[in-house]
């Protein structure tokens, strides 16, 4: 299904493509993959599938390790110093490769 905006209060089975916004209400259920710029899932809603979020026309960034950079060999080099900040641990998400 290719739509601009989708509001689901019932059941949708299949792939949703190139949607600007997908919203699943508390009574809604999507069984399939969703490719959208914005996804809203209410408490009680069901989403079984994969979600790919990307702005329209944008290409995902690809991060490649660069052995030539001296900091690439040090895993803690990119982490900020949190001493005295009250933050115990910085959690970083996965990098795309």
DSSP 8-state secondary structure symbol assigned to residue 61: P
- What is the model's pTM? 0.56
Model confidence pLDDT, tens digit, residues 20-35: 999 999 999 999 999 9
Model confidence pLDDT, tens digit, residues 50-78: 999 977 644 445 556 655 555 555 555 55
Question: Domain boundaries in the chain?
Answer: 5-53
């Amino acid at each position: 299904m290719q739509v601009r905006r989708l509001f689901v209060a019932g059941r949708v089975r299949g792939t949703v493509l190139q949607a600007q916004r997908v919203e699943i209400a508390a009574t809604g259920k999507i069984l399939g993959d969703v490719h959208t710029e914005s996804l809203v899932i209410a408490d009680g809603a069901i989403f079984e599938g994969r979600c790919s979020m990307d702005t329209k026309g944008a290409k995902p960034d690809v991060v490649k390790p660069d052995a030539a950079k001296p900091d690439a060999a040090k895993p803690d080099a990119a982490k900020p110093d949190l001493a005295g900040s009250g933050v115990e641990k910085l959690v970083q998400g996965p990098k795309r490769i």
